[in-house]
Amino acid sequence: MKRSRRRLPLVVAGTCLAVLLGYAALDAGGIVPGVLTTSPLPPPAPTATPGTRTLPVVPQPTPSTSVGMPLSPLSGAGSAPSAAGVRKKLDPVLALPALADASFVVRDGQTGTVLLDEHGARPRVPASTTKLLSAAAIGQVFGPGEVLTTRVVRGASAGSVVLVAGGDSLLAPGRGRPAAVAGHAGLADLADQVAKALRTAGTERVTVSVDLGYAAGPLVAPTWSPSFRPDGVTGAVAMLGRSDQRALPGRPGPADPVESTLDAFVARLDETGVAARKAASPRTSAPADAPVLGSVRSAPVLDQLALALTESDNALTEILARQAAYRAAAGTSFADVGAWVVARVAELGVPVTGASLRDASGLSRQNRVTALLLTDLLAKAYDGRHLSLARAFEGLPVAGLSGTLADRYRSGAGHDAAGRARAKTGTLTGVDALAGNVVDDDGHLLVYAGLVAEAPAEQARAGLDRFVGTLAACGCR
């Protein structure tokens, strides 16, 4: 995997620029040391709306915008970390009691060279770091700008219409918000279009059904704890849903998102003056080539994927992965989708020995992944030849700033990584994981993965944060 440092991929430059801007944001807020500090005000909470993101969106550089090609390296050849240097710095961290049963791998992010391998080939429960594999697979199916369409068509009988699910689980119950990811398309906007078409045709009363033929599958996985959905750990996995009903811990979503979305649409249509009611048996199949009465389009799928990674949204990840598998003519059960994800990752040239997935989100305790696989996948995202991977990983949380890392790295042993580490977290009872990248003190990109088992959550998380903080301050030559 070694490549000339004088041909450092453009994607690495873009990644490091984003990380450095993140550090600058923390510096200006007084969270990390630096010359930009102005006040100790904390950043606002991250949102699902690109227009109000708390982090800058940094586009990948292109030949037309770059200063020249090839780009000069991030750091001088003499500053490249060595395996011996990494081992020396990390040995005290790896000796922590909380990390006694763990796997760790560190790679040079610019060459892919393995600098540390501590049980890296041992298959372990990956928890939500599973989403890295799923994102890689989803990113191979959906291109930039591709969206999901929710339609309403004429039904088989007079005075009937059918709401056709198209995979958008983030529909606003009222008006859509064009700047938003969650709530981009709105049921009220869809109802307005349908009402106009019905009035033009002289139809004043309708019954409404729903077609769920697209990417159909079970709502919850058989390998999940029965408490996950009622506790809000995940929502039900359906190809139609509302942005205001996304599941959150302690605030579960509906057991049947389709039913509540259909009810909301019927109510919006009725508010337009068209007398609308839900069909007695609302599940149906839309007639082939039925006239379209209205349609709304979601935010781009890759923006939804970024949101799923940032917030570790289990249901949204499963929904997008199921659609990707369906479009690739694979099965749509949770196990089928998991197997398809592993197969698509293998097509990227990543060794998947020991990998087995029973879902796409990481909630299944039957999932197995290695730290070597995770770092190999991450390294490929920055090699300049796998832009779909780079796009898929754009939603990785930033240490101390966004998503599931917003409240980590602001103090303590991992503080050196604040603003310049990005990672996917993973947590199940008895399992803690972290996989991502960081720019070290010498300006060198490192990728890493840590999978910890059988340790108290607080101590395991502190150990993982110290691991990443040590890498950030390392140099490790």
Q: What is the mean pLDDT of residues 137-157?
A: 96
The whole-number pLDDT of residue 413 equals: 86
**Using the 8-state DSSP alphabet, how is residue 252 labeled?**
-
Cβ neighbours of residue 340 closer than 8 Å, sequence gap 6 or more: 137, 324, 325, 328, 330, 331
* Arithmetic mean of pLDDT, 220-233: 97
Domain ranges across the chain? 74-142+307-472, 149-299
Residue 9 reports pLDDT greater than 70:
no
User: Is the per-residue pLDDT at 22 higher than 70?
Assistant: no
- Give the 3-state secondary structure of residue 115: strand
Give the angle 59-185-139 at the CA atoms, nearest 5°. 40
Burial of 231 (0-12, 13-18, 19+ CB in 10 A): middle
80 in Cβ contact with 94 (< 8 Å): no
Arithmetic mean of pLDDT, 351-372 = 98
Q: Tell me how far apart the alpha carbons of residues 408 and 404 are, in angstroms, rounded to a whole number.
A: 8
Mean pLDDT, residues 138-164 taken together: 96
Across 114-143, average pLDDT: 97
Specify the CATH architecture of the domain 74-142+307-472. Answer: 3-Layer(aba) Sandwich (3.40)
pLDDT digit string (tens) for 385-396?
888 888 999 999
Confidence of residue 16 (pLDDT cuts 50, 70, 90): low
b/e map 419-430, b = 16+ CB within 10 Å = bbbbbbbbbbeb
Q: What is the largest CA-CA distance in the chain?
A: 79
Residues 6+ apart with CB under 8 A from 280: none
Q: What is the pLDDT of residues 272-321, one digit of tens each?
A: 999 999 999 999 999 999 999 999 999 999 999 999 999 999 999 999 99
Kindly state the average pLDDT of the residues 184-198: 98
What is the mean pLDDT of the segment spanning 1-25? 46
∠ Cα 111 112 113 (to 5°): 90
Query: Is residue 128's pLDDT more than 90?
Result: yes
- Region 142-155: mean pLDDT is 97
Percent of the chain with pLDDT over 90: 77
Q: Are 448 and 425 in contact (CB under 8 A)?
A: no
Average pLDDT rounded to a whole number, residues 437-463: 95
User: Which tokens belong to 261?
Assistant: 């979305």
Phi and psi torsions of 427, nearest 5°: -145, 125
pLDDT in tens, 34-71: 444 433 333 333 333 333 333 334 333 333 333 333 33
Give the pLDDT confidence score for residue 8 in this predicted structure: 42
Q: How far is CA 398 from CA 95, 112, 301, in A?
A: 26, 22, 21
Q: Which 3 state secondary structure label does DSSP give 285? A: coil
Q: What is the model's pLDDT at position 41?
A: 38
The CA distance from 15 to 19, in Å, is: 6
pLDDT of the residue at 228: 97
Q: What is the pLDDT of residue 39?
A: 37
